[in-house]
Copies of this chain bind each other. A is one copy, B any other.
């Protein structure tokens, strides 16, 4: 048997696109290309069937064991794609990520891997439509990418809600039982009539400092401490989730059935990708690490202020069982036949908005020395790239060489003072006709993102994502401003219209940037300073003068510090539409104070998240959602109407 090595040239799987102008609808382009069997893509990566599980013909889960096999081999270059502060229409980060990889793999003969987030099904049926890139830079099959994929989000939903059910049911059963009765039910006699602890109970015993292994030996006080979690219902931060835009679940009252004996409680649902379990999946590094993170998730406090975890509830192992296949990333392909790993898609505000560490690690080994792994960081670089560096790379130990910042003339004009851009409304003509002055004025936003990103010790390449209406003069202004701000290069790309061919210059620039870079990663803040000092370091990077804390925020910071969680990195929950907390403040504002309304924590995933303003974690549906157009062609079984 040939041992696993880094990937063979992917040239066998490369497919040339015949592009059409004007660019057809995304789904029409996606459907016009016959994907290769994913086993052929896997073969081009030197993966044999024992390294992956097929899920249909065009998706496969790459098994984590690949990492063990490739432990000693070299990593490729690591490239992160961020963006300037966007308009509500998005500036094409995913499309650029895919287009850049198509250029590197299909035109520059490089070994390359795209690492992307799995999208939520909520937007697919709601407003936004799909998230597989766009135009001639897409991941295919587009419908499979946007729908169930290989079930990871469904596994998260199942695990999240099993934990939620465990919380309320435990409170319910504790309310009606004595310490002794509770204990006896938790440790029932086995066939030999002897009471035993389940394996998972040893974790709680250890946390309580009880070293006894025989249930019969516990004192009444130890029985009480062990069996009675005494959860304070007011303190519960764990919510239920659903991968649907269901606004009516944002705030609900549960437990109103007669059998629940009046134990009603206000709570709510988030969309599944906002679950802490999604953040765990994105940040974990191995099955064993995931088991620990899931068990350590804190769902609230006891009435005496002790954090209560999933393992205290006895459910950390079951959660891991539900997530054991989800930990393997999903292999797909781009329109031009280069490989893609799709894995995890945590919220970009209340979580860190980056795809998974394990996918990046596998990809870096598979492309090997001089190969490229390109991954995307959600939102603008102030949020996405910042969290990529300070949270994701801190946990993974991986060091990026190059950061791409995607800019559009449209967004720069907005930052320069152009009229408001509103999704669903026609664009003002300032955006569709030449206006060099507006662009020039807006470049302060780009410059600030370049400056911040360079601070991490990476080369910055600006990708100007060209629209048909952009003029050469406008683009030249951006290029000059980017170089002035210290960018390694700034390149015009047309991958939406031309596929990889439109991003060849970008690919060359990224290659040079990577080859010229060998600095270690410089974090924005160390972990061993206080929570407030970390928040303030990030606020300063936004251009803020200071930070203001609400009473609630002060209280939570004190609690988390007391509970021993102050050493975690910080994940700011802030609007993506401004460096500041005020979405309408465009450009590169200064002199503002960042208000921290509240502070929450994802202890299992491993970060504290201060809330800057109100973040919706459950989208709604409009009067006419996308679903009106979506159907199956009965004759062919193909999906129609996805956008």
Nearest neighbor of A286 in chain B, beta-carbon distance? B634
A256 and B247 contact, CB distance less than 8 A: no
The interface stretch among A161-169, A215-223, A471-479 is A161-169
**B-binding segment of A79-87, A104-112, A320-328, A574-582:** A320-328
Q: Would you mind naming 28 contact pairs between A and B with Cβ atoms under 8 Å apart?
A: A147-B322, A148-B322, A158-B244, A164-B246, A165-B244, A168-B247, A169-B625, A186-B628, A188-B624, A198-B629, A200-B631, A247-B260, A248-B255, A248-B257, A250-B256, A251-B257, A251-B258, A251-B260, A252-B252, A287-B634, A314-B624, A314-B625, A318-B631, A320-B631, A321-B630, A321-B639, A324-B632, A324-B639
A477 → B minimal CB distance (Å): 31
The one of B155, B247, B287, B325 in contact with A257, judged by C-beta atoms closer than 8 angstroms, is B247
Give chain B nearest CB distance to A427 CB in angstroms.
14
A235 CB, nearest partner CB in chain B, Å? 17
Q: In this assembly, does A567 line the interface, its C-beta being within 8 Å of a C-beta of chain B?
A: no
Within 244-297 of A, Cβ neighbours of B (below 8 Å) are at 244-260, 263, 265-266, 268, 287-288, 291
Chain B residues closer than 8 Å to A258, beta-carbon distance: 251
A253 proximity list for chain B (CB < 8 A) = 252-253, 256
- Whether A632 and B55, one on each chain, are in contact in the complex, defined by CB atoms closer than 8 angstroms, is no
Residues of B within 8 A of A55 (CB): 53-56
A487: shortest Cβ distance to chain B, in Å?
Answer: 36
Q: Does A417 contact B (CB under 8 A)?
A: no
Decide: A637 and B257 in contact? CB cutoff 8 A.
no
Residue among B125, B321, B622, B639 making CB contact with A147, cutoff 8 Å: B321
Q: Does A623 contact B (CB under 8 A)?
A: yes
CA distance A321 to B626 in the complex (A): 13
Q: Does A356 contact B (CB under 8 A)?
A: no
CB-based contact B54/A291 at 8 Å: no
User: How long is the Cα–Cα vector from A622 to B186 in the complex, in angstroms?
Assistant: 10
Across-interface contacts of A562 in B (CB, < 8 A): none
Q: How far is the CB of A561 from chain B (nearest CB, A)?
A: 31
Binding site for B on A (CB under 8 A): 53-57, 61, 121, 125, 143, 147-148, 151, 154-155, 157-158, 161-162, 164-166, 168-169, 172-173, 177, 182, 185-186, 188, 198-201, 240, 242-260, 263, 265-266, 268, 287-288, 291, 314-318, 320-322, 324-325, 620-625, 627-632, 634, 637, 639-641
Most buried by B among A148, A243, A321, A640: A321
Are A321 and B632 CB-contacts (below 8 A) given A169-B248, A314-B627, A621-B166?
Answer: yes
Complex interface: chain B residues within 8 A of A168 (CB): 246-248
Complex: chain B residue closest to A263, CB-CB: B248
Main secondary structure of the interface of A (DSSP, over half): mixed
Given contacts A55-B56, A148-B151, A165-B621, 9 further A-B contacts (CB under 8 A): A53-B56, A125-B162, A157-B157, A168-B246, A185-B622, A186-B628, A200-B631, A250-B259, A320-B631
Tell me, rounded to whole Å, the shortest Cβ–Cβ distance linking A9 to chain B: 26
Nearest-CB residue, chain B, relative to A246: B165
CB-CB < 8 A to A188: which residues of B? Answer: 624
Shortest A230–chain B CB gap in Å is 15
Residue of B nearest to A182 (CB): B623
Bound-state Cα–Cα, A198 to B640, Å: 12
A161: chain B residues within 8 A (beta carbon): 242, 244, 246
Do A198 and B628 touch across chains, with their CB atoms under 8 A apart?
A: yes
The 6 A-B pairs of least Cβ separation, nearest first, read A317-B631, A154-B154, A318-B627, A165-B246, A250-B257, A251-B257
Compute how far the CA of A277 lies from the CA of B97 in the bound complex, rounded to whole angstroms. Answer: 38
Q: Per a CB cutoff under 8 Å, which of B162, B246, B628 touches A314?
A: B628
Question: Which of chain B's residues have a CB closer than 8 A to the CB of A260?
Answer: 247-248, 250-251
Q: Which residues of B contact A247 (CB under 8 A)?
A: 165, 168-169, 172, 257, 259-260
A15 to chain B, nearest CB (A): 21
- Whether B246 lies near A637 (C-beta < 8 A) is no
* With known contacts A157-B157, A198-B629, A621-B165, A254–B259 Cβ distance under 8 A: no
- Give chain B residues whose Cβ lies under 8 Å from the Cβ of A244: 158, 161-162, 164-165
Judge whether A257 and B246 touch: CB under 8 Å.
no
- Distance of A97 from chain B, by nearest CB (Å): 26
Cβ 8 A contact of A151, one of B154, B164, B314: B154
Collect the chain B residues with CB atoms within 8 Å of residue A259's CB.
247, 250, 620
Complex CA–CA separation, A256 to B267 (angstroms): 10
Given known A-B contacts A151-B151, A291-B634, A627 and B250 have beta carbons under 8 A apart: no
